[in-house]
Each structure stands twice: as structure tokens, then as C-alpha cells.
Amino acid sequence: MNTLSTTFAGLPLRNPIVVSSSGLTDTAAKCQALEEAGAGAVVLKSIFEEQIMQEHDRWYDPAAAGADDYLTTYLRAHSLSEHIGLIEEAKRRCSIPVIASINCTTRTEWAQYAGFVEQAGADALELNIMEVQTGVHDEYGTYERRHIEILEQVRRYVALPVIVKLGMNLTNPVALVDQLYACGAAAVVMFNRPYRPDIAVESLRFHAGEMWTRPSDLCDALRWVGICSARVPRLDYAVSGGVHDGWAVVKSLLAGASAVEVCTTLFWNGSRRIGVMTDQLRQWMHEHGHATLDSFRGRMNMASPEGARLYGRTQFMRYFSGYGKA
């Protein structure tokens, strides 16, 4: 009989399927329903620093002396209070790990807020650090360094496992992951999905581009989890983006992941999709003679002979070399 149990960021999970931070996890009742549907863990809906500051700009009155600091403090405290309430209720309702989430781009008070998150009972904290660098004079490596600085400050306030969810706009993910491990990260998630702007050519207005992931998105995370899990093997990894079925879970584990984060497929198919995915995972394990996830985790990462050759490839070479010829 095969078992799907795994460990991610030091947390024991009954299976590797983690529901990512989204509208799926913004209430304790939804989290409880996801547990009943078979989820291994949930990441609660994030506190968004960017959203808080947008609210600040909307309400700020420059004519009101001293109002700026008060408004900023109030908005952050209000959002934190709501998030703490969500953590506490989710912990009362759920027996699976409950992971808090902070989406931040600056150091400010987020490190101290992490302490409140721990006191509320969260099993781990996911730091969602993502920003688009647009300054002409931004120095190379500044964005990566901010990850380290935020993590270092958070680790001063909490003992709970800290997970860092990365964006793809990195120069060298391997070097950054190695530094995150050295600074106390328990796990890394690859990758966060940024807001994607689009343009309506008739109305000449901006609108949101495709918000859902597609199965083809999986390849980007597979590459870097496959590379990083071989180069920095002492850290846990999760694949995020393009995980739509159990076969994608198998691929992620073969590349070296301990877990996957899912979202789009649950919006499209409902929470029953979790059961379908775990059944597919079990089926593959049975057909290939694996009793545990550890027996095949990382078998096809960059440490494998073929992985060493293919994960670093950037060009198609032979695949399209004859394309279009008569």
C-alpha cells in the first residue's frame, strides 16, 4: 500500500497538495472544506502591502497634519487584525497545517507583524516577495538582496518555519536560494504569478491579462526546482503554476519538489479535483512500484545524468531545426 505523506518546511503533510493563497482560502470555512476534500495544507489569503498602500493613497488628506502616519498604522493594523482572526479560526477548524501569508515588497513593520502571526498559531509563514524593478538607476542584485533582508528581519521575530515564494524575475535563482537557506528559510516556492497587464486596442484601456495558469506553465518551475534541488538539496521546494492534475504532481516530485501549490484547477473544477489528483498520483506510484514519495523524489533533477544535460539548455536546437522546410 503506497503512502502520500511528505514533509514540507518541516511540516508533516498527509499528501503533497497545498492550496495556495487565494480567494479559495480567505475564510476558515473554505479551509475546512478543502481539508475535507483532501488537501494536505492550506496557505491563507495574503495580507498585501501594495493593497494597503493603495488604500492609504485613496484616503490620505495632505491637509490633515499628522494624518499620514496614523492612517498607515491604522490600515496595516486593520489588515493584520483580520488576518490574525482568520488564522485563529482556521486553526480551530482545521487539523492540517495552516500557513499564513504576507505579500510584501519593503522591510518596514512586516518583520514585527510576523511575530503576531506566530502568536496567532500559524504553522508556518509564507513570504511572498515580488516587485517589478523599473528604476533606471536600480543596481543589479538590489531586488535579490531585498529577499535576504526581509527574511533576516522576519527570522529575528519568529521561530516558526518561513517559506519564501519567489517570482521569476531573478538573475540567478540558485544563488538566491542558497542564500535564503543560509539565512534560515525552511522552503522555497517556485514561482509566484504576477499581475499581467493587457491592452484593449479598441477602447485604448488597460485591463488584466490572463489570470489563470495553464498546464504548460509547469515547465518553468520544473526547470528551476530540478536545478535548485540538486544544487541546494537541504532546502524543501514546492512547485506552483501549471499543476492541474496528478501527473503534474508526479513531475514536480521527480524534479525534486516536496509539495505543490494549486489554485487554478480548483477554481475550474472545484475542490473535488484534489481527490482526482491524489488518485492519479497513487495510480502512477502503483504502476511504477513506489510505496513512498521519497522513493522517487528528485530522481529526475539536475543531479541525474540526463537532467544535468537538459535543465541547462536554453535553445531548441534539433527540435525546430528542420521546421518549415519543404
Tens of pLDDT along 112-148?
A: 778 888 999 999 999 988 777 777 877 888 889 989 9
Q: In this predicted model, which residue has the larger pLDDT, 280 or 143?
A: 280
pLDDT for res 113: 78
89-116 mean pLDDT: 84
pLDDT tens-place string over residues 192-231: 887 788 999 999 999 888 889 999 999 999 999 999 999 9
- Going along the chain from its start, the domains and CATH numbers come out as 6-319 (3.20.20.70)
CA angle 212, 217, 220 (to 5 degrees): 140
Of 80, 81, 76, 86, residue with least CA distance to 56: 76
User: At residue 236, does pLDDT exceed 90?
Assistant: yes
CA angle 193, 194, 196 (to 5 degrees): 115
Give the Å distances, CA to CA, from 132 to 79, 105, 112, 190.
Answer: 24, 10, 25, 17
Do you know the residue count of the chain? Answer: 326
Q: Is the peptide bond before 191 cis (omega within 30 degrees of 0)?
A: yes
User: At residue 163, does pLDDT exceed 90?
Assistant: yes
Q: What CA–CA distance (Å, rounded) separates 184 from 193?
A: 24
pTM reported for the whole predicted model: 0.88
Burial class (CB in 10 A: 0-12, 13-18, 19+), 70: exposed
pLDDT for res 240: 97
